[in-house]
Structure 1
Amino acid sequence: MVRNPERRTTLLNAAIDVLAAQGARGLTFRAVDTAADVPVGTTSNYFPNRDELLRQAGEHVFVRLTPDDTTTAALLDDDRDRDHERRLMQDLLRRAEADRAGYLAMFELRLEAVRRPELRAAFTRGFRANLEQIVQTHVDGGFPGNRTTAVLLYVAMSGLLLEHLTLPGVLGEEHIDEVVAALVETIVPG
């Protein structure tokens, strides 16, 4: 295998974009080569097979969608109250809108994981770790509520993002911030 980390990252980002645009069935080495604007055959030099490309794209999507430490610190630098939770959830919504392809690819990978046990195992580990980090930040950070509050926010926002990014208009996009505010108001203790 070729060892050029920047090129690998470029190919994984292109794979995520292909997944978002064409779905798992459209994810071919040639499609990734085209999306990455690299010579034909480049992707096959980095990934031994399509399953490995899917697995690594599944791991990379978490990296791509996670804000950097500076952004995270800035997001958490405020009073730990319901209004702060609302701002955090609205920030999550803005980040999802900014990288719509990343989130759509994540949804596509979740569906593909239903059919591929090895991908499901890897994706389950990644999502479980992500959820645990969210819960830990919520509880240890002194936000209102408890572990259940954090889990309910996670589940509710996951559903909201799915609706908002896949079927724009269902929730009334002009009022999406109000939907997020109502969701937080309902779940997070005052």
Structure 2
Amino acid sequence: MTADRRTLLADTAIDVLAAQGMRGLTHRAVDRAADLPSGTTSAYYRTRQALLTALVGRLVALDQAELQEAGERVPVPRNAAELAVGLAEFTRRRLTGEGRRRSLARYACALESVHHPELREILVPRDNAGRRIVRDFLAAHGAAGPEGADERTVTLLTCVDGLVFDRLVNGGTVSVEEVGRLVAAAMR
């Protein structure tokens, strides 16, 4: 029950952070959102930093599971157009529903990690099946060797992440054409 309760509290903290921002993330707010007695969250996560660390760890676990599953489910793109469509679909998932909620929380945590390096260590991008598909595609289509493909993968995915951030802040969607231009630049 303790592990389930910790997961529930971390998931609820993600919701609170996405809805109310960093200032709204409190033990009481998580208790209320989880419909638990006052003091429950602080019994499991004594300090705000402990709660934030649990939230970030859960966020990374959810993201990694999604990316791993997507990488195992989605075939390797045959051409740049297929890669652009796949990445555009990924951005759409990041801008709606649960993906939006997690994106908002992730960016708030990334900013917080400037002041709390221990969070940065948790947020470091990790290898997963989705990232490997992009890297393997770029390597097979002209990126300069394995190191070049790694660098271009990071650059491409950082640019895609930037589009997600921009659309969260300014509204709108990400088009396949926009992503296609980024893929073409990564392949040059």
Q: Is the structural similarity TM-score above 0.5?
A: yes
Per the alignment, residue 58 of structure 1 pairs with: 56
Structure 2 counterpart of 1:53, one-letter code: L
| Cα distance between partner residues in 2 of 1:74 and 1:15 | 29
Aligned residues: 178
1:36 CA displacement: 1.6
- TM-score normalised according to structure 1 size: 0.80
Structure 2 unaligned runs (5+)?
Answer: 144-148
Q: Equivalent residue for 2:124?
A: 127
Partner of 1:114: 114
Counterpart secondary structure, 1:87? helix
Q: SS of 1:114's equivalent?
A: coil
2: CA distance, partners of 1:161 / 1:21: 17
Residue aligning to 2:26 = 28
Aligned to 1:101: 101
Unaligned runs of 5+ in 1: none
**Compared with structure 1, are the counterparts of its residues 152 and 117 closer, same or farther at alpha carbon in structure 2 (3 Å cutoff)?**
closer
Which 4+ residue blocks in structure 1 deviate beyond 3 angstroms?
Answer: 68-71, 132-143
1:13-55: CA deviation from partner (whole Å, max 9, x where unpaired): 1111111122212110011111222222111121121101111
| Residues 53, 119 of structure 2: 8 Å contact kept | yes
Deviation at 1:70, TM superposition (A): 4.3
Partner of 2:146: none
AA at the equivalent of 2:152: T
Deviation at 1:135, TM superposition (A): 5.2
Q: 2:88 aligns with which of 83, 87, 90?
A: 90
Q: Aligned equivalents of 1:27 and 1:155: distance in 2? A: 27
Change (3 A) 1:30 1:4: same
Asked if the contact 2:88–2:179 (Cα under 8 Å) also holds between the matched residues in 1, the reply is: yes
Shift of 1:185: 2.6
| Structure 2 equivalent of residue 182 of structure 1 | 181
1:152 pairs with 2:149? no
CA contact (8 A) 1:86 1:181 kept: yes
Q: Using the alignment, how far apart are the partners of 1:69 and 1:148 within structure 2?
A: 20
SS in 2 for 1:181: helix
- The amino acid of 2:176's aligned partner reads D
Counterpart in 2 of 1:73? 72
Deviations 1:114-158 (CA, angstroms, capped at 9, x unpaired): 1223323x33xx32425x876544344655332222111111011
